[in-house]
Every structure is written in structure tokens, then in C-alpha cells.
Amino acid sequence: MDNNWYLDEEFWRTFGPLMFNADTFARGEEEIECLLSLLDMPPVPTLDLGAGPGRHSLPLARSGYPVTALDTSAYLLDQLGESASDLPVEIMRADMREFVREQAFGLVLVMWTSFGYFENEADHARVLENMSASLRPGGRLVLDLVGLETLCRTMEPVHLTEYDDGRLLVERPALIDHMTRLDNEWLLIDGDTIHRTHFSHRVWSAGEISSLLNSHGFDILAIHGDYQGADYDLEAERMIVIAQPIEST
Ligand SMILES: C[S@@+](CC[C@H](N)C(=O)[O-])C[C@H]1O[C@@H](n2cnc3c(N)ncnc32)[C@H](O)[C@@H]1O
């Protein structure tokens, strides 16, 4: 049976406050600034899939982009609702596997490795088809991922983070299933309490994600290794894929 960890509100309640803090919100704002200069397109209706509490939806809306922020987590969307006040953000609680709004968006974003969670490959294909159907002709898709090449270079068997309040996060990652998935065990040590979670998600090399997108009707416009627009190479920190639905003639 699938381990649907990404639908578990308890996961986001426990680990969300570590992931979505002042530093990562500031980083989201910088990422949007860089991305908009890479994309060089006027404000268009934008779909932020797996938007969470709005690290990217909020700065996009502040830049004049009408945003639909879609997520399955009511807990995270409530936080976004509180921050959005009168910004042009439509908050939508839905599963990216189900959501299609025909040719409604000029830009679709899936940020911070939020594409790849499903155990079933057909679910990833379904999301790509939904995104393609939801994009207007000439629209762009941005996937912000970590590539297999980067993981091979940077992954440590154990990684420890100590937070200012004394909590410790122990991460134990491993590449499994012929290096197609990243398996992760997280232990959050909070005084005498330990929260443990175990999850995995799909990883692709640049060549594999290009083939997957091509086979679902997308042309690859660029693959960058960071938000400044560096080439995707052996120094890459992220794998930022910019794609466009192939125009039917
Ligand atoms: C790592 S967080 C990233 C949040 C946001 N994109 C960011 O960069 O801060 C992944 C998000 O994807 C959402 N998510 C997971 N599975 C989903 C699904 N099937 N449909 C829509 N959202 C989903 C989670 O609830 C979570 O908010």
C-alpha cells in the first residue's frame, strides 16, 4: 500500500514549522525575484502547485501576478490565508492529481521538490497532463527539483541540524530502487521527545526528467543549476526545469 506521508497533516504540523520559517520565506522571495527575471514575462495568472504556506505565492502576488495557490494541507493553507489579506491569491484545497482548469494559467510552478512524491509513476504522468491542460498556449512550467547528479555529489549518510531553540533534526537519506527514489528518515529531537518519520520521493536525472516531460507534451526551454540561471552541471545546487507545452498544429 502507498505511504501517503505527504497527505498526513501530522507530518506538516510537526515538520512544517521547521521548514517554513523566516529564513526560508526570505529565500522564497529571492527565488521569485530571480525566477521572474529568468522568465522575463509579464504578470500572468499563475498556479502554484503544492503552495504550502505561500513562500512563492505571496511574493508573486505582491509582484502583481494573480495566483492560485493549491495544496492538500488545510493546516498550511490556513497560514497562507492569514498572510494573504487582500493580495490576489485564490486559495484552493485540492490534490494536484485531480486539479485541471483548462488553459487558465500563463505560468505553473511546482517549487521546493514538491513534484515527485507519488509511489505510482502514473500519478506523476497525470499531474503533468493536468499541468499541460491548465496552461495557456505559450505558457511556462517551472519545476524546482534536486537532480540525481546533485544528490550523488552532496548526500551524506547522516545530516544533523541544530535549531536556535535547541531542537535537533537528524536526517538519514538513502538512494533506493536503483537510485530512482530518495528514502529519508527524519528524527526530530525536542528535549525528551523524539518525532520520527519515514518517507520517500522520486528523483530524476536531468536526462530522465527531460524525457518524461517530452513524453507528456512539453518542450524543455532550459535546465538551470540555480536561481541565478547557471547551467545545470556538476556544481548544480538545484535542478530548475523550465518547459512549455508543445503547440499542436
Ligand atoms: C516541501 S512543501 C513545499 C511548499 C512550497 N512549494 C514551498 O516551496 O514552500 C510540499 C507541499 O506540497 C503539498 N502537497 C503534497 N502532496 C500534494 C498533492 N498531492 N497535491 C497538492 N499539494 C500537495 C504539501 O502539503 C506541501 O505544502
pLDDT for the residue numbered 2? 60
pLDDT tens figures, 224-246: 999 999 999 999 999 999 999 99
Q: Which domain holds residue 189?
A: 150-200
Let me know whether 142 and 92 are in one domain. Answer: yes
Residue 51 near ligand 1, beta carbon < 6 Å: yes
- Three-class DSSP category at 18: helix
Place of cell 512549455: 244
Q: Which atom of ligand 1 is nearest to the CA of 117?
A: 16
Let me know whether 41 and 71 are in one domain. Answer: yes
Let me know whether 196 and 207 are in one domain. Answer: no
pLDDT for the residue numbered 247? 84
Residue 218 near ligand 1, beta carbon < 6 Å: no
Q: Which atom of ligand 1 is nearest to the CA of 110?
A: 6
Residue 108 near ligand 1, beta carbon < 6 Å: no
pLDDT tens figures, 130-150: 999 999 999 999 999 999 999
Let me know whether 52 and 129 are in one domain. Answer: yes
Let me know whether 191 and 71 are in one domain. Answer: no
Q: Is the pLDDT of residue 1 over 60?
A: no
pLDDT tens figures, 22-51: 999 999 999 999 999 999 999 999 999 999
Let me know whether 112 and 222 are in one domain. Answer: yes
Let me know whether 59 and 31 are in one domain. Answer: yes
Let me know whether 171 and 188 are in one domain. Answer: yes
CA distances from 19 to 52, 206, 207, 224, 245 (A): 10, 26, 29, 23, 32
Let me know whether 22 and 34 are in one domain. Answer: yes
Average pLDDT, the chain: 96
Q: Is the pLDDT of residue 76 over 90?
A: yes
Domain total of the chain: 2
Residue 145 near ligand 1, beta carbon < 6 Å: no
Q: Report the C-alpha dihedral over residues 59, 48, 235, 201, rounded to 10 degrees.
A: 140
